[in-house]
Amino acid sequence: MKKQLLLMLAVAMSLSTFAQKDELKAAEKALKSGDLTAAKSAVDQAESVIANDEKLRSKFYFLKAQTYYDIAKKNPSLDANAYDVAAKSFQDLITYEKETGKAKYTVEAEPMLNSLIGDVSQKGIKEYQEKDFSKAKESLYKTY
């Protein structure tokens, strides 16, 4: 009885790992093809199960950051908070990789994060010039 229970538990764990990998692969494929809606959907689905998998966490944070960054730049109507989600995901990625000592995606993420900061700063300057001071204040505050 114990052997059967252990076997079923092992099978369930391996299936959940495959599901996580499939969702991340789907997000990666959708990003490459430019389908931001599918990429966002795949990343959002993976988020609920990725917390338990240490191996895929860096890749998840990177794909989430990349997805939301692309949404913010190309199709902001998909998510009004895309810049915020992307920035948080970049920060989570960099923090996680510093903790683990494995900087696999940080090298790619840092220039994207700097670009994101520049974009938000430019957005704030544009809002200020348009005399939308409350939005300008929020955007410029986010850059710090």
Burial class (CB in 10 A: 0-12, 13-18, 19+), 121: middle
Q: Tell me what pLDDT residue 94 has.
A: 92
Burial class (CB in 10 A: 0-12, 13-18, 19+), 131: exposed
Q: Which CATH class is domain 2-142?
A: mainly alpha
Question: Going residue by residue through the chain (144 aa), what tens digit of pLDDT does each one get?
Answer: 555 544 444 444 444 444 457 888 888 888 888 888 888 888 888 887 776 677 888 899 999 999 999 998 888 888 888 889 999 999 999 999 999 888 888 888 889 888 888 888 888 888 889 888 888 888 788 777
The pair of three-digit structure tokens given for residue 70, joined into one six-digit string: 């692309």
Q: What CA–CA distance (Å, rounded) separates 7 from 112?
A: 43
Q: Tell me what pLDDT residue 120 has.
A: 85
Residue-range domain boundaries for the chain: 2-142
CB neighbours of residue 136 within 10 Å: 18
Question: Comparing C-alpha atoms, which of 141, 111, 107 is closest to residue 123?
Answer: 141
Q: What is the CA radius of gyration of the chain?
A: 18
DSSP state of 71: H
Write the Ramachandran bin of 103: left for phi over 0, alpha for psi from -120 to 50, otherwise beta. Answer: beta
Q: Tell me what pLDDT residue 23 has.
A: 80
DSSP state of 75: -
Q: Tell me what pLDDT residue 80 has.
A: 84
The reported pTM is 0.76
Q: Tell me what pLDDT residue 51 has.
A: 64
Q: Tell me what pLDDT residue 3 has.
A: 54
